[in-house]
Amino acid sequence: MPEPSFFSSAPVITREEILAARSPRTLHDPWQPQSFFLEEERSREGSVDSVATVFLTNRECPYTCLMCDLWKNTTTFQVPSGAIVAQIRHALAHLPPATHIKLYNSGNFFDTKAVPPEDLPQIASLLSSLKTVIVENHPALCSTGCVDFQKRLGTTQLEVALGLETIHPDVLPRLGKGMTLDDFSGAVEFLHRHNIRTRAFILLRPPFLSEEEGREWAIRSIDYAFSLGVDCCTIIATRGGNGIMELLSEKGWYSPPRLDSLEWVLEQSVPHHSGRVFADTWGLDRISTCPDCLSRRTQRMHRTNCTQSIQPRETCHCQQDAIDIAAIQS
């Protein structure tokens, strides 16, 4: 863990500074989803099932997190009533049948300014034939709205994905999430009490941590999430691209994690938990230094995600190059 003196000099970035560093926002059609596709995911029962993943278009999350770039895919206004229903209908009409669905909306599904409450009955009706509905939500917004939606879904299981990010005591408060660990654990306990499942997002190397610290605290954060009873954890390599992260990078407060760190955390976590651990394999070209092995290493992590067993490592000239450089430097 970094010495206290390190964090005494680390900046506390304000919401105004985060907003000022942003690039212009792209305009989005509130009647069209951002994207949608079918993916494979291992279920809690051990099968590998088809999941319809839909990225909805709606209002920006009110929590201006330091590392977040999802605001690019949001509107500055509340979408009209019926728009979210239309987006889901459009995606389902253009996708093959699926067992589960993820409704990811760059924010919070139970934010009434993001998903109009009057749309929820129609959304539940659209999805009632599926096994699981997975949505993103902030711990502070996990309340009776979640419970009511689960009731509307009937036998379809609701699962709420929560951003834990990190349990590092100095980094978490600097992320601007408006959340403490007590808030997170309280939300998980509330949801479980109402038979709603949970999953957690874990950041690999958020700002202010070294590569080694980033790996260590990702493992600790995964352990913490599972100690609360979450079903699964998804490890996300912290990325730049939102403006403020680039400014932190210039000042030495942030560097993206290495691809081998994502592989290592996945390998260390999968064998030690009864729940599932996934590596997020989206956009790994941002942290890869070798185009020759990126595809094979990505596919290997996907196989690990699906089997929850460690797959043989891929070999590449870049690994030998790293060994040669280390030998020269020593």
Residue type, 16: E
Q: Are 304 and 281 in contact (CB under 8 A)?
A: no
Compute the distance between CA of residue 133 and CA of residue 115 in angstroms, rounded to an integer: 15
- Superfamily classification of domain 4-329: Aldolase class I (3.20.20.70)
Q: What tokens were used for 226?
A: 């599972």
* Cβ neighbour number for residue 43 with a 10 Å cutoff: 16
Output the pTM of the full model: 0.93
Give the least confident one: 171-175, 301-305, 320-324: 320-324
Residue-level pLDDT at 87: 98
Asked whether residue 139 carries a pLDDT value surpassing 90, the answer given is: yes
Looking at the chain, the number of H-run helices and the number of E-run strands are 11, 8
Q: Strand, helix or coil at 325?
A: helix
Distant-in-sequence, close-in-space partners of 52: CB < 8 Å, separation ≥ 6: 36, 37, 38, 91, 92, 95, 98, 100, 101, 102
CA separation, residue 279 to residues 41, 166, 260, 275, 304 (Å): 11, 15, 12, 14, 9
For the segment 130-152, the average pLDDT, to the nearest whole number, is 98
Q: What tokens were used for 57?
A: 């278009």
Q: What are the boundaries of each domain within the chain?
A: 4-329
Asked whether residue 324 carries a pLDDT value surpassing 70, the answer given is: no
Which phi-psi region, left, alpha or beta, contains residue 168 (left: φ > 0; alpha: ψ -120 to 50)? Answer: beta
Q: What is the mean pLDDT of the chain?
A: 93
